[in-house]
Chains A and B, each alone.
Chain A
């Protein structure tokens, strides 16, 4: 290894750049795609989003004659078409937490904060890059899943087209829901600064809380559960709700879910500015 290179004139180089929001976004773009874990998680989310609905549709069609008449009547192939989000949400949520907690666990955050000492541009860039990538991937996956599922269920004539009521809203809503879920996860990751802790809190908020309300008396549960983050977020990605279920309107629920995500992001932003890196 060359030691003489130290005094090489090549040491003096470099144009004069400056830190801008666009430059920080370009940096976060590089960061997102240059980690193996990110690529695998995104691939997992895509496979889950496209694959699960199709798999379920195949199984349902094979068992079609054994389904109760009421179930057949209520069968909504739009919901099956986007059913993959039940699995994809886990991959997106975990990845969202790790996008930021991974920097704390490895010490990378110090490099990031030294390069961008105003700090917030890093958070905005992470949110922007991750939500754009998530939205595009999940939108494409949702459409693919939707159309393949409709083709499969044609055999029992229960297919829908995009023009049918709710169909387009649910397909778009699924990608929006998963994108905002990713934003919520980044907020939690930035707040907790620890992968295990961040994922635990995310799982608690999204998946454990609804289970807890289920064991409450029905009247109480019915007045709480529609406002829980995931229950609120689901609405925009749902076409036919369970009979008798208490839920918010699709866009109202989604707006509330966005509110939760915004709270998490604001808390993360305040922590980023106030606490030592």
Chain B
């Protein structure tokens, strides 16, 4: 359990995290989502006691990080920025870390096996590829066999094989009942493994919700695309309470509130020719953007715009 309460972090005059409050619940995977520069890495550094919050506090299993008697055995972390001396071998790095807690050498061999670095464990880390570096980061996080894992953008810059590996690893950790707090700027990546979502933008909390809720929203708002030469007549026919119809081009209608079977039946009864009748499933990414779009508008007082805009804005601001 990680409790972040009213954390603000300021670097000089730059506000990186702004009054952030959320809880990472035990036993599930929580996604930490937001565009680059939204304050995710800063929040993680504050949780891990690396950076002191300007105000507010963080508790890990009820304690401030620096008061944990054996931090690596309660919470394992992999930060986005490399945190390993390039001149040391993977084995020696892990051994030095293990020594601080009196963790046996056999555990070092175990985590090297788990992340599949056996062949290169005695080579200098400086020569590691990005993927090998990520694996070593994961090995460091697993070293103390902690219940909580914090992973900052673990799939960043990985090749497809590496991404698949991370995904399987996360699934395994989740199945194992561990608490995982995982940051990413990609919804698609998070949605595959996370149950809960904490969304931030510009250092502020935008949403604290579940993936299921977002999926539900996404299907609720899904549309049916209809192409018909006589779109105007079809439009009148379909118009009813709870039905919205959007039309960008004259012969195409996006119908919300009716399913394709109902639209087809109505059209046939009225003798209207259809060229296309396609259910549109809103992607998670789109649902996420709608969610953050509304949230940004609500929390930050930004203008109401098309769903995609706020994120793009944030990215530019960052």
Q: Which chain A residues have a beta carbon within 8 Å of chain B's beta carbons?
A: 1-8, 10-20, 23-24, 26-31, 34-37, 102-103, 106-111, 113-119, 276-277
Provided the pairs A18-B101, A110-B50, A114-B72 are in contact, do residues A11 and B84 lie with their beta carbons within 8 angstroms?
A: no
Residues in chain B near residue A26, CB distance under 8 A? 99-100
Q: B97: which of A7, A103, A115 is its contact (CB, 8 Å)?
A: A115
Kindly list chain B residues whose C-beta atoms are within 8 Å of the C-beta of A102: 85, 87
Determine if A115 and B101 form an interchain contact, defined as CB atoms under 8 angstroms apart. yes
Nearest chain B residue, comparing its CB with the CB of A26: B99
For the complex, is B110 an interface residue (Cβ under 8 Å from A)? yes
User: In the bound complex, do residue A37 and residue B101 qualify as a contact, i.e. CB atoms below 8 Å apart?
Assistant: no
Using known A-B contacts A1-B116, A30-B95, A115-B72, determine if residue A6 contacts B84 with beta carbons closer than 8 Å.
no
Bound state CA distance, A201 and B40, in angstroms?
36
Contacts of B271 in A (CB 8 A): none
Question: Contact between A31 and B96 (Cβ–Cβ < 8 Å)?
Answer: yes
Known: A11-B172, A18-B70, A19-B70. A108 touches B85 (CB 8 A): yes
Contacts of B89 in A (CB 8 A): 34
Q: How far is the CA of A31 from the CA of B85 in the complex (A)?
A: 10
Contact with A along B62-74 (1 / 0, CB 8 A): 0001101111110
The answer to whether B49 touches A117, judged by C-beta atoms less than 8 angstroms apart, is yes
Residue of A nearest to B11 (CB): A276
CB atoms of A276 and B50 under 8 A apart: yes
Residues of B within 8 A of A114 (CB): 48-50, 71-72, 77, 83
- 22 pairs from A and B in contact (CB 8 Å cutoff): A5-B113, A6-B169, A10-B114, A11-B142, A12-B176, A14-B145, A17-B70, A19-B69, A30-B92, A30-B95, A34-B96, A37-B87, A103-B85, A107-B81, A110-B83, A111-B97, A114-B50, A115-B72, A115-B101, A117-B68, A118-B66, A276-B52
Q: Which residue of B lies closest to A35 (CB)?
A: B87
With known contacts A11-B114, A12-B176, A1–B165 Cβ distance under 8 A: yes
A3 with B82: CB separation less than 8 A: no
Task: Tell yes or no: B144 within 8 A of A by CB.
Answer: yes
Q: Which residue in chain B gives the minimum CB-CB distance to A37?
A: B87
Shortest C-beta distance, B134 to chain A (Å), equals 12
Contact B102 A7 (CB under 8 A): no
Contact A6 B172 (CB under 8 A): yes
- With a CB–CB cut-off of 8 A, which chain A residues contact B164? 3
Tell me whether A14 and B92 are in contact (CB under 8 A). Answer: no
Q: Which residue of A lies closest to B65 (CB)?
A: A117
**Residues of B74-121 whose CB lies within 8 A of A:** 77, 79, 81-89, 92-93, 95-97, 99-104, 107, 110, 113-116
**Nearest B residue (CB) for A10:** B110
Q: How far is the CA of A116 from the CA of B96 in the complex (A)?
A: 12
- A97 and B52 CA atoms in complex are apart in Å by 25
What is the minimal beta-carbon distance from B153 to any residue of chain A, in angstroms?
15
Contact A8 B169 (CB under 8 A): no
Cα–Cα distance between A152 and B87 once the two chains are bound (Å): 41
Chain A CB within 8 A of B188 CB: no
Bound Cα distance A18, B99 (Å): 10
On whether A17 and B101 interact (CB within 8 A), knowing A102-B85, A108-B83, A114-B49, the answer reads yes
Give the contacting residue for B102; candidates A2, A4, A23, A277; CB below 8 A.
A23
- Chain B proximity of A190: nearest CB distance (Å): 16
Cα distance A197–B68 in the bound complex, in angstroms: 34
Find B103's partner among A15, A106, A111 (CB 8 Å cutoff).
Answer: A15
Tell whether, in the assembled complex, residue A6 and residue B171 are in contact, meaning their CB atoms are under 8 Å apart.
yes
Q: How long is the Cα–Cα vector from A18 to B69 in the complex, in angstroms? A: 6
Out of B73, B144, B145, B173, name the residue touching A6 (CB < 8 Å). Answer: B173
Number of interface residues, chain B, beta carbon within 8 A: 55
| A113 CA / B69 CA spacing, docked (Å) | 13
Other-chain contact of B172, A7, A36, A117 (Cβ < 8 Å): A7
A107-B82, A115-B97, A117-B66 are known contacts. Are A36 and B102 too (CB-CB below 8 A)?
no
Contacts of B99 in A (CB 8 A): 23-24, 26-27, 29-30
Do the beta carbons of B145 and A11 come within 8 Å of each other?
Answer: yes
Residue B213 interfacial (CB < 8 Å): no
Residue of B nearest to A7 (CB): B172
* Residues of A close to B212: CB separation below 8 A: none
**Whole-angstrom CA separation of A117 from B50 in the bound complex:** 8
B305 near A: Cβ within 8 Å? no
How many angstroms from the CA of A15 to the CA of B116 in the assembled complex? 22
Are B84 and A106 touching (Cβ within 8 A)? yes
Closest residue of chain B to A8, judged by CB? B114
Q: Does B51 sit within 8 A of A, measured CB to CB?
A: yes
- A27-B100, A113-B50, A114-B49 given; name 10 further pairs at CB < 8 Å: A1-B165, A3-B168, A14-B145, A23-B102, A24-B100, A29-B99, A30-B99, A106-B85, A111-B140, A114-B77
Which of chain B's residues have a CB closer than 8 A to the CB of A28?
96
Q: Which of A13, A18, A24, A111 contacts B83 (CB 8 A)?
A: A111
B175 interface contact, C-beta 8 A: yes
The B144-179 residues at the A interface (CB cut-off 8 A) are 144-145, 164-165, 168-169, 171-173, 175-176
CA separation between A236 and B103, bound complex, in Å? Answer: 43
B residues 23-65 in Cβ contact with A at 8 Å: 45, 48-52, 65
Q: A118 CA to B73 CA in the complex, in Å?
A: 16
Q: CB-CB < 8 A to A37: which residues of B?
A: 87
Contact partner of A20 (CB less than 8 A), chosen from B81, B102, B171, is: B102
Q: Taking CB as reference atom, which chain A residue is nearest B68? A: A117
Cα distance A8–B145 in the bound complex, in angstroms: 13
